[in-house]
Amino acid sequence: MNLDEYRTLIVVATLVLTLAAASPTLGLILRLPTGETFSELWILGPDRMADDYPFNVSSGKTYLVYVGVENHMSRSSYYTVYVKFRNETDPLPNQTSETPSPLEPLFEYGFVIRDGESWEMPLNFSFSNVQSFENATLVKTLTLNDVSFDVEKPASWDSSSSGYFYQIFVELWIYNPAVQQMQYHNRFVSLWLNVTQT
């Protein structure tokens, strides 16, 4: 090897060692692309499994499900889960336009989750003051986690499915630091219920 080849080798080795030594600092400065960021939202049955969901429900009985969220946003995130109640004519969130349902939330959970971790809470619900008419049912009161709400929701008889159908659904909202407010995260899950008077 001649003198120029040794110089080139020494310069390359010096650069490699300098980059290796500086890599922890560069990691703080440079943001390399990460994988897809997303959040998971779910409702589980009373045994914390994806089965045995309440469906045919009666007035005066209490039912249990679990609502959960998992964070894959590559950072800790502040979430709000809104619980809403609808009949067959009330609007759901629109996933195409990424807008939430205009229905008012009845109940909410607010929490922070670190990246890669999850949160889960029970959601107890019951119906009272349910009235039946010729081809309709009226749910007057819905209780969520021991808090009662006057909902006054009618449902018409669905002859194809033989029931009076309602939905409890949850929307996921996340804090957006760029605009400094909570925003709908374009995720919701629902639980269909056939509500009877007794």
Flag whether the pTM goes above 0.75: yes
Residues 60 and 28 in one domain: no
Q: What is the pLDDT of residue 196?
A: 81
Q: What is the pLDDT of residue 112?
A: 97
Residues 6 and 81 in one domain: no
Q: What is the pLDDT of residue 7?
A: 73
Percent of the chain with pLDDT over 90: 77
Residues 20 and 61 in one domain: no
Residues 64 and 1 in one domain: no
Residues 85 and 128 in one domain: yes
Query: Please, which pLDDT band fits residue 34 given cuts at 50, 70 and 90?
Result: low
Tell me which residue has tokens 């049955």. 45
CA–CA separation, 90 and 83 (whole Å)? 14
Residues spanned by the domain of 140: 38-196
Query: Which of 172, 176, 170, 168 has the alpha carbon at shortest distance from 186?
Result: 172
Mean pLDDT of 110-126: 97
Residues 71 and 119 in one domain: yes
Read off the pLDDT of residues 138-156 as tens digits, 9 standing for 90 and up: 999 999 999 999 999 999 9
Residues 21 and 52 in one domain: no
CA angle 28, 31, 35 (to 5 degrees): 125
Domain count, the chain: 2
Residues 66 and 45 in one domain: yes
Positive or negative torsion for Cα 56, 57, 59, 61 = positive
Residues 48 and 91 in one domain: yes
CB 106 within 8 A of CB 149: yes
DSSP class of 135? S
Largest Cα–Cα distance in the chain?
A: 101
Residues 63 and 159 in one domain: yes
CA angle 188, 150, 80 (to 5 degrees): 30
In degrees rounded to 5, what are phi and psi of residue 17? -65, -40
Report the CATH number at residue 154: 2.60.40.3880
Q: Give me 60's structure tokens.
A: 């005066």
Indicate whether 38 pLDDT > 90: yes
What's the mean per-residue pLDDT of the chain? Answer: 90
Indicate whether 122 pLDDT > 90: yes
Residues 61 and 89 in one domain: yes
Residues 5 and 87 in one domain: no
End-to-end CA distance of the chain: 95
Mean pLDDT of 77-83: 98
